[in-house]
Structure 1
């Protein structure tokens, strides 16, 4: 089958008013009355399964009870003590497969407690009021270099700063935040929240952020080790897998992460060009974010194509359902064969679908193709001996320590065995920060 190609790539497909509506907050903040009702549904379970399902082990029944009692400062302290990026995680965590998926309410009325919304209610309240929740310990004289200002790096820096150590964060980009700033759909985190959260986290003191400083270009691991007492690597996965197919270099073909960044960093959404007919290749959350934002920018048709069935997609059922409600067509069990073009621009993608009845080839015509088939480690500036055997991640132990005695790593770049989620990266950073602090304590005892 084939869909007739009639499109092009252009900006200003929708009016400013339409775009403002399309990119408004998809999960607006609860008001006090709604938060009270939502908190009243919690059973405050002993040994609560929601806590076990949270990678950062937030005391969920505890903070919800505090919200119900009107103690929002206490609730925020509970959350942010366990997860210093609790505000962002309240917005982007796949709660449907984590805390809310484990909620006992699912077995009673098939509607979990709104844990994510309640978490945002408390953390946004505290940030808006400028509440002082943490006090930094006396300066220890120790200085740690953190490479990467994403969730793992920020969480590690916060943990170390609270313990009284000085931290300098080096990041290759112009702004801190990592994927929270550059890689998440704009409708999930509005009003420059990522930057406000970075500013809040650094306000504890003892943290210096140096942007435009890339490992292997502006700073070296060797120099960082000489100038600091420890180093934490949180460099993420900045490479993008290629399709390795004919036509991949055609105009209109781009990486989905680059497209998402364009949308996130645009001063005026109307200036972001988008195809009339868009094909997104992939089945993860990045693919969903790219597909949905294509529709919100004014694409007429958007097809998200995945090589297997929906049951193996890394995008959650909630993300898939949301994409379809936004007008994205889901095409499964189809692998790209080649990209078709005319006069240097892409005109479509040929796919092959294999089933028990044989195989068929079909073409989805498009003027824009977004690739979202996974990201890879770019190990520039990282010694080969620090990597796993296949070179895909940095090898670490249970505390995030590498094979070097003064270097730790965490987040997506490290082989921690966790899932590639913001909340898991936060936990990696938090645990590594605690391990570095414990390392300093041990070495101080030996020196004495």
Structure 2
């Protein structure tokens, strides 16, 4: 974005920016990890495992930490969730495994599973002084070739499991780097030290996976072409478009999708060159809204307001994320719906909101009152949508609403094509869920190859 109006770079000194973007949740080390591991009861029916979308054997890996078997702990985690390192940093454990922890019934403080998972996997990916450690090996070559469209969590998870099973995989990624939202869409303070790229490099190091960047489905490659050239296709497309605000003035300068702002920040070599407004309004109630709002504040914005049309209980951002936003100076305003973006000389000057309340059917309805919040930058975090044009939409693949329909094995309605991640109707859009989709789709593809081989024999 051009430095015009009151959106400009360099609001804070470089040293302040460095402090602001340190790891928000530093890892456990040494004795602290052992003490935390000792709090686990190693439940035989482990409700935390049932709450984990990838079914990591949590008691097993924590017991191995307690006995200093770090390789065993990491293998437990990464066998179930190949992106266990990133998920340890970004997964909302407070509403998944940690919420199910039986320690809640004793001292109201669950075992810090996420931090222990990070501790167990940290050493695997290597550092400036130590090489990465590959825990997995490929099976004998199968002679099968699979195209994976999308280099995000679902696509990379699928590719890695297929490579382990001996298949050759080509990943087609539209952007310059693989990693998807892990690389472009997560707050920088959650994934420091270029971790997303290091994790991708480690995943690819198993071999048998070729990544082709700058390759968009529908522009550079077609589904028909991939089906003709490969034995199977997996679509891990994610959600490529941002919902329109649907309000007058949303095209004014200074208004943009929050995901674009976050991506620009994540790819910046020098945060002091990144422009940010003085008065920032973020519209939305999810984790993307929180990430955009907090990072705006950390870049030096004076006033940052996050506005949601319903209450905090209905926000998809967890209470932990909401509290984190407040603790970083973000003002959360609820029960307000954007109705008009105001501007002058082609640039945004504020957003007019209608106050809302819960109607009889639970939906937000207007009260008749409005309020104008001044803003020189407005970030839209109101959800993303699938771009079906690349694969031909409902004319080619059966859809469930605005997502791709799949069966229990993530096969689509089109023979030889599977799909997973945010582009399918899964119910929740989380990194950990996308990883599970990719893994299960890979197993389904492998089973289909085996069945075809059996028929051929």
TM-score (norm 2): 0.95
SS at match of 1:10: coil
Aligned to 2:162: 160
Give the gaps of 5 or more residues in structure 1.
1-6
Q: What CA distance in whole angstroms lies between the structure 1 residues aligned with 2:429 and 2:388?
A: 18
Q: What CA distance in whole angstroms lies between the structure 1 residues aligned with 2:367 and 2:157?
A: 50
Aligned to 2:224: 222
Q: Post-superposition shift, 1:46?
A: 1.0
Q: Post-superposition shift, 1:47?
A: 1.1
2:402 is the alignment partner of 1:400: no
Q: What CA distance in whole angstroms lies between the structure 2 residues aligned with 1:355 and 1:324?
A: 22
Q: What CA distance in whole angstroms lies between the structure 2 residues aligned with 1:391 and 1:209?
A: 31
Aligned to 1:380: 389
Contact 1:386 1:395 in 2 (8 A): no
Q: What CA distance in whole angstroms lies between the structure 1 residues aligned with 2:201 and 2:399?
A: 38
Q: Post-superposition shift, 1:27?
A: 1.2
Aligned to 1:297: 299
1:189 equivalent among 183, 191, 197: 191
SS at match of 1:278: strand
User: 1:43-76, CA deviations, whole angstroms, 9 ceiling, x for partnerless residues?
Assistant: 0011101000000000000000000000000000
Q: Post-superposition shift, 1:391?
A: 5.3
Equivalent residue pairs, number? 441
User: 1:86-126, CA deviations, whole angstroms, 9 ceiling, x for partnerless residues?
Assistant: 00000000000001111111111111101001101111122
Aligned to 1:51: 49
SS at match of 1:314: coil
Q: How does 1:94-113 map to 2 (within 5 A)?
A: 94-113=92-111
Q: What CA distance in whole angstroms lies between the structure 2 residues aligned with 1:277 and 1:387?
A: 44
SS at match of 2:390: coil
Contact 2:85 2:117 in 1 (8 A): yes
Q: What CA distance in whole angstroms lies between the structure 2 residues aligned with 1:389 and 1:352?
A: 34
User: 1:151-200, CA deviations, whole angstroms, 9 ceiling, x for partnerless residues?
Assistant: 00000001100000000000000000000000000000011111100110
Q: What CA distance in whole angstroms lies between the structure 2 residues aligned with 1:178 and 1:215?
A: 15
1:31 equivalent among 22, 29, 32: 29
Contact 1:182 1:260 in 2 (8 A): yes
Aligned to 2:267: 265
Aligned to 1:424: 433
Q: How does 1:346-385 map to 2 (within 5 A)?
A: 346-355=348-357, 358-383=367-392, 384-385=394-395
2:422 equivalent among 412, 422, 426: 412
Aligned to 1:124: 122
Q: Structure 2 vs 1, CA of residues 388 and 365 (structure 1 numbering), >3 Å: closer, same or farther?
A: farther
Q: Post-superposition shift, 1:359?
A: 2.8
Runs ≥4 in structure 1, deviation > 6 angstroms? none
Q: How does 1:335-350 map to 2 (within 5 A)?
A: 335-350=337-352
TM-score (norm 1): 0.97
Q: What CA distance in whole angstroms lies between the structure 2 residues aligned with 1:233 and 1:131?
A: 29
Contact 1:386 1:394 in 2 (8 A): no
Q: Quote the RMSD (CA, aligned, Å).
A: 1.3
Contact 1:387 1:393 in 2 (8 A): no
User: 1:238-271, CA deviations, whole angstroms, 9 ceiling, x for partnerless residues?
Assistant: 1000111111111110110000001101010011
Aligned to 2:113: 115
